[in-house]
Amino acid sequence: MREGITAVVNAQADMIVVGEAGDGQEAIKQFRELRPDVSLLDWNLPIIPGEEVLGTIRAEMPRARFIVISALNDEDCIRRALSLGAHSYLHKDMLRRELLPAIRAVNEGQVYIPDIIAKRLKNAH
C-alpha cells in the first residue's frame, strides 16, 4: 500500500514523498529528521502505534500536520485521532478519491474531513 501511495503522490507536480517508515519508531525518527509538510500516518503501526506517534510528534512540534489513514472506521478511533491533532482521517477504502485533496487541504492548514466521515460522526450522537 505504501508503494501505491508513494507512486500517486510522487506523480503530482506539487508533491514529493521525502520519507517512509514501516513502524512507529521509525516514523518518529523519520519525522524528526525530515520535518515533512504533511505526514500520512497509519493508525495501526507496529512497535509504536499511530496514536502514540501522533501524540509524541504533536507534543514536540505542535504545528505538525497529519493525515491519519486507517482500516478502522469507528467513531471512537476517528474522534481520538482528531482530538490528538490529526488534520484529516481517511479510511483506506477512500484513498483513491480523497488522498490528494486531503494532502492539499492539510498542507494549506485546513482540516479535511470527507463527507462520509463527517456524516458518521454526526450520526453517532
Q: What is the pLDDT of residues 78-110, one digit of tens each?
A: 999 999 999 999 999 998 999 999 999 999 999
Full residue range of the structural domain in which residue 78 is found: 2-123
Q: Which residue has the higher pLDDT, 124 or 108?
A: 108
Instruction: At 30, give phi and psi (nearest 5°).
Output: -60, -40
CA separation, residue 16 to residues 25, 48, 107 (Å): 22, 25, 13
Residue reference for cell 525518527 = 29
Domains held by the chain: number: 1
Distance CA 61, CA 78 (A): 21
Distance CA 76, CA 80 (A): 6
The CATH number linked to 83 is 3.40.50.2300
Across the chain, what does the average pLDDT equal? 93
Distance CA 100, CA 103 (A): 5
Q: What is the pLDDT of residues 47-75, one digit of tens each?
A: 999 999 999 999 999 999 999 999 988 88
